[in-house]
Amino acid sequence: MTAWRAAVVAAGAVAALLAGVRWLRVAQREHYLPGSVFRFGLRWWGRDPGNGAAALVALAGLALTWKWPPAGLATAVVVAAGPPGLGLRGRTSPLAWTRRVGTLAAVSFALVVVALVLAVLTGVGPVVAAGVALAVPLLIDLSLVITGPFERAVARTHVDKARRRLARVGPTVVAITGSYGKTSTKGYLAHLVAGSRTVVASPASFNNRAGLARAVNENLAEGTQVFVAEMGTYGPGEIADLCSWLPPDIAVITAIGPVHLERFGSEDRIVAAKAEILEKAQTVVLNIDDRRLEVLADGAEEKGKKVRRVATLMPGDSADLCRGGVCVRDDLDGLTLFIDGTEVARLAAGPRAGNVASAVAVALELGIPVAEIVSRVGSLPAVPHRLESVSAEGGFLVLDDTYNANPAGARAALHALKRGGNESSRRVVVTPGMVELGPRQAEENSRFGRAVAEVADDLVVVGRTNRRALLAGARSPGEGAGLLGYEGRTSKGGPLHCVVVEHRPEAVAWVRDHLGAGDVVLYENDLPDHYP
Amino acid sequence: MPPTPTTVSSQKIDSVTVAVVFGGPSPEHDVSILTGLQVARTLVGAGRQVFGLYWSKTGEWFRVPATLEAADFLDGVPRKAEPVRLVVGPEGGFAQAGGRLGRAKDIELDVAVNCCHGGPGEDGSLQAAFDLAGIRYSGPGVASAALGLDKLAFAGVVAEAGLPLLPRRLLSPTITDLGFPGPYIVKPRFGGSSLGIDLVEDITTAVHRLEANPHLRRGAVVEPYRPDLFDLNIAVRVWPALSLSAIEKPFKSTASAEILNYTDKYVGGEGMASAPRELPAVLGQTLATALRSAAAELARLTSVRGVARIDFLSDGEAWFVNEVNTVPGSLARYLWVDPPVTFIELLDALIDEALSSPTWRPNATGADGTVLRSAGGIAAKLG
């Protein structure tokens, strides 16, 4: 029996090592947030009946190990193989071996070793080895908690350096937040002012504490007049913390939506977290299309801040309806820009009206003359993967909206799909659905599925994360005037055809096989492969 | 074909440690990365001892591997970069920040190949720092670099030598008459790139651009806009002997492009080396001879060191000197087609020149105390 016990401990250790590689990658992809690894563990082991059965075998093995140690081998084998579908290395986003991952790995490894040594010494080796192997996601979460203070101290040195740099260069700081539209608005603003100011914008993925500190330290060159910072948030207090060392002169909230709802709990808490950006700014720009932002605008005015309200108008609306200083009307085939009630420019379809309005308002606050804004607003840069249109080799049109992850953006993309092509076009939506919507995730994806059915001929569902919700929505009978406001189904006819695939390459292959000249495909959102 | 130098400054070339310097707080930071990575890769391919010294947009220095790709710089400082410091003074050079207990560790290098374009690095400031730090480097020295990046001073030197050039005036806020009719091209007075160049109809607009265009904040020059003229470029070097490249005629990418712009030059792949062009340019014998002789004279006038690219404007018969690029994109490697010079030959010559022909000779002879002895008290001097 001793040999069996030793074998189980060894197998458990090896399984834990393999699981470590697997789940460290998930920790990295999930921005090192404690708790995220365990959440993804539950997702993967419960993905489908097959994975659930594997998890049951592992748990049963663990339970039996108390009485009969060799059962632990079953647990070790299942853990070593991992939940079916979650590779060791990852296809789309492999583990990048950074200093931070190294620290995390070392602490997790130490926890495993300590647990095993203590267990062997106290005579409970096999059961603890099997348990540790199975609990690797939890151990990594624990390591994330343990390394938290150290990582914050490391970040602090970068933040201190960034603070000194900001003081020396002394740019006007524009901070932009919002559930969506941040990156586009930032890009538009940088473009509008680039002709008359030296401007530096933070890179898209650098919107948290460490990222913005790095953006300042590496990009804020001497002589920069305007620094545009995109601020993201996963929880209350984060933006207030950013503003403590990167205080904005002008603050912008583009829009509020149920993005990262999973981490916030409610949309009211999202509003409160975003509103932190207004505290230190003297001037604020708010999109009052959202009633909640209008309330914030009134509050900011009471505090003596300069408030610039922006709004969008529907097709056909007259300028009189413009309630903000800057309004942009979506004319479907283009946009019309109004400043203080006067039409100043028309631009081609593509950018979202609200984002253009916010960017123009900030440019005005920076003292850019209207003539200069008008001369540049016609050439706003397209943001990659945000409803970007590309002609495919097969002659069909590709709408790439793979960076979008919010319901409002998804609806706008479906309108664009409807506008693209002609009467005989076949229209296809390829999507894994949207994530991080908390308790509303199933409902939102189901609604999206229903909306897809209104304008598309085919829906290709990628992966399993939202498969059930998307298909349920797509197959539910249409009720009255559709979600998108079109009269009945507007596709070529016949019911929506649904296809399910595991990975995006299969979806791309399906599209190549089935689409031809004149057709349109919308790629809506993309999920890295640590999502089931 | 000239033989590849196998010994440089009495050292075997493959025992020379080369640092390729690129980046810098300049609008051409990204282009410089492309030049630097091409140089580094070529030196690695020839088995030279080489590493990269990346100068960030905010002026920090990093030692980086010579085999990086452009994509490694997309997010800023690449992951494998080690922070280093530039120390000036007799014991100067680059040093690695030591551990908490250790002191800074010197980084051994024999020569720096300067690939910095546009701003510091092509304007004499980096050269001055390297001189003071005792680092031997390729390319222009302080004065030559500063002259090349000052369009107004350069025009003065060209005019004084009697070479033809278009009228070029300093654009001042109060100017009302330039002495030549519009439309005009407004260019930053300092700066090596095509960034910030404006085409304007009249002087009032030109003066307005002076206030609005951030690239013109340090001053601007204005020239007549001549749509009938096209660019002709030629590269020159003076080591191991004065030699000239073939003459290049770069194309504007679209018919509507009024002047060869930054996008034409650089947003095409590997920088200048992949821009559209006619090479060698098909030119009349008289024009080609005139340009070659002017280029040779300009090499002397501007103390060319390393490889410089001299840009002319011409309508096919008349020609004008436009500018000199003392650290040209891709080090103008693509121009050396006739007679052919490979990139490694070009680089070996640059390294040889850097080691053999110092840029800075401080001289303290004459400061022998005579003046001090006869000076008396300082108070007496003030009185």
CATH code where residue A486 lies: 3.90.190.20
What token pair was written down for A452?
A: 């897809």
A180 or A482: which leads in pLDDT: A180
Q: Which of A478-482, B14-18, B165-169 has the lowest mean pLDDT?
A: A478-482
pLDDT over threshold 80, residue A482: no
Chain B 76-105, residues with CB within 8 Å of chain A CB atoms: 76-77, 79
Looking at the domain assignment, is residue A60 inside a domain? yes
At which of A345, A377, A409 does a domain end?
Answer: A377
Q: Which of A465-474, B46-55, B309-318, B362-371 has the lowest mean pLDDT?
A: B362-371
Do A362 and A427 reside in the same domain of the chain?
A: no
State the pLDDT at residue B374: 87
Do A77 and A224 reside in the same domain of the chain?
A: no
State the pLDDT at residue A137: 95
pLDDT over threshold 90, residue B216: no
pLDDT over threshold 80, residue B85: yes
Assess contact for B189 and B177: CB atoms under 8 A.
no
pLDDT over threshold 80, residue B275: no
State the pLDDT at residue A489: 59
Q: Is B284 on the interface with A (CB under 8 A)?
A: no
pLDDT one-digit tens code per residue, A439-466: 888 999 999 999 998 889 999 999 988 9
What token pair was written down for A260?
A: 């990262």
Assess contact for B347 and B139: CB atoms under 8 A.
no
pLDDT over threshold 80, residue B54: yes
pLDDT over threshold 80, residue A42: yes
Residue in A267, A263, A269, A271 with CA at minimum distance from that of residue A287: A271
- When the pLDDT of each residue in chain B is averaged and rounded to a whole number, the result is 88
pLDDT range class, residue A31, cuts 50, 70, 90: confident
Do A10 and A113 reside in the same domain of the chain?
A: yes
Of A197, A218, A225, the CB nearest to B77: A218
Is residue B332 left, alpha or beta, with left meaning phi > 0 and alpha meaning psi from -120 to 50? Answer: left
Residue in A258, A247, A231 with CA at minimum distance from that of residue A176: A231
Q: What long-range pairs does B152-159 form, CB within 8 A, spacing at least 24? A: B152/B189, B152/B219, B152/B221, B154/B302, B154/B323, B154/B324, B155/B221, B157/B301, B157/B302, B158/B298, B158/B301, B158/B321
- Type of residue numbered A325: G
Q: Is B208 on the interface with A (CB under 8 A)?
A: no
pLDDT range class, residue B377, cuts 50, 70, 90: confident
How much is the average pLDDT of B356-375?
Answer: 87
Question: Is the CB of B58 less than 8 angstroms away from the CB of A203?
Answer: no
How much is the average pLDDT of A60-69?
Answer: 90
pLDDT range class, residue A235, cuts 50, 70, 90: confident
pLDDT one-digit tens code per residue, A340-386: 989 999 998 888 899 999 999 999 999 999 999 999 999 998 887 88
pLDDT one-digit tens code per residue, A90-118: 777 788 888 899 999 999 999 999 999 99
pLDDT range class, residue B192, cuts 50, 70, 90: low
Helix, strand or coil for residue B161? Answer: coil
Determine the structural domain holding residue A516 and report its residue range: 388-524
pLDDT over threshold 50, residue A388: yes
Do A420 and A349 reside in the same domain of the chain?
A: no
Closest chain B residue to A98 measured between Cα atoms? B79
> Is beta strand A397-401 parallel, antiparallel or unpaired with respect to A520-524?
parallel
CA dist B73 → B35, B53, B84, B327 (Å): 13, 13, 17, 21
Give every strand in the sheet of B319-325, ordered side by side.
B277-278, B243-250, B230-237, B307-314, B319-325
For chain A, list residues whose CB is within 8 angstroms of any CB belonging to chain B.
96, 98, 165, 195-198, 203, 205-206, 214-215, 217-223, 225, 372
pLDDT one-digit tens code per residue, B88-114: 988 889 998 765 555 667 899 999 999
Looking at the domain assignment, is residue A87 inside a domain? yes
State the pLDDT at residue B194: 66
State the pLDDT at residue B262: 54
Q: Which of A481-485, B21-25, B180-184 has the lowest mean pLDDT?
A: A481-485
pLDDT range class, residue B159, cuts 50, 70, 90: very high
Do A133 and A178 reside in the same domain of the chain?
A: no
Give the closest-approach CA distance of B239 to chain A in angstroms. 36
pLDDT range class, residue B191, cuts 50, 70, 90: confident
Of B57, B79, B214, the CB nearest to A218: B57
Residues of chain B with CATH 3.40.50.20: 7-139
pLDDT over threshold 90, residue A318: no
Do A140 and A175 reside in the same domain of the chain?
A: no
Closest chain B residue to A169 measured between Cα atoms? B58
Do A333 and A203 reside in the same domain of the chain?
A: yes
Residue in A190, A174, A161, A195 with CA at minimum distance from that of residue B58: A161
Domain B167-225 CATH class label: alpha beta
Residues of chain B with Cβ-Cβ distance to A218 below 8 Å are 56-58, 60, 76-77
Give the closest-approach CA distance of B214 to chain A in angstroms. 5
Looking at the domain assignment, is residue A530 inside a domain? no
Do A279 and A416 reside in the same domain of the chain?
A: no
Question: Number of Cβ pairs closer than 8 Å across A and B?
Answer: 38
Domain total of chain A: 3
Residues of chain B with CATH 3.30.1490: 167-225
How much is the average pLDDT of A291-300?
Answer: 94
Residues of chain A with Cβ-Cβ distance to B217 below 8 Å are 223
Looking at the domain assignment, is residue A348 inside a domain? yes
CATH number at residue A206: 3.40.1190.10
Closest chain B residue to A214 measured between Cα atoms? B76
At which of A331, A349, A377 does a domain end?
Answer: A377
Looking at the domain assignment, is residue A437 inside a domain? yes
Do A25 and A137 reside in the same domain of the chain?
A: yes
At which of A377, A412, A431 does a domain end?
Answer: A377
pLDDT over threshold 80, residue B63: yes
Give the closest-approach CA distance of A374 to chain B in angstroms. 15
pLDDT over threshold 80, residue A41: yes
Do A304 and A396 reside in the same domain of the chain?
A: no
Do A99 and A185 reside in the same domain of the chain?
A: no
Distance of alpha carbon B52 from the chain centroid: 18
Do A192 and A105 reside in the same domain of the chain?
A: no
pLDDT over threshold 50, residue A329: yes
Q: Is the peptide bond before B240 cis (omega within 30 degrees of 0)?
A: yes
Helix, strand or coil for residue B137? Answer: strand
Residues of chain A with Cβ-Cβ distance to B56 below 8 Å are 218
Highest mean pLDDT (candidates A1-5, A42-46, A140-144): A140-144
pLDDT over threshold 90, residue A222: no
Looking at the domain assignment, is residue A531 inside a domain? no
What token pair was written down for B354?
A: 């850097």
Share of chain A above pLDDT 90, in %: 60
Tell whether ipTM is more than 0.85: no
Residues of chain B with Cβ-Cβ distance to A371 below 8 Å are none
- When the pLDDT of each residue in chain A is averaged and rounded to a whole number, the result is 89
pLDDT over threshold 60, residue A487: no
Of A98, A195, A205, the CB nearest to B213: A195
Looking at the domain assignment, is residue A162 inside a domain? no
State the pLDDT at residue B39: 97
pLDDT range class, residue B265, cuts 50, 70, 90: low
How much is the average pLDDT of B12-16?
Answer: 84
Q: How many residues does chain A have?
A: 532
Question: Is the CB of A218 less than 8 angstroms away from the CB of B212?
Answer: no
Domain B7-139 CATH class label: alpha beta
State the pLDDT at residue B254: 46
A322 or A156: which leads in pLDDT: A156
Beta carbons within 10 angstroms of residue A384's beta carbon: 12
Residues of chain A with Cβ-Cβ distance to B77 below 8 Å are 218
State the pLDDT at residue B256: 40
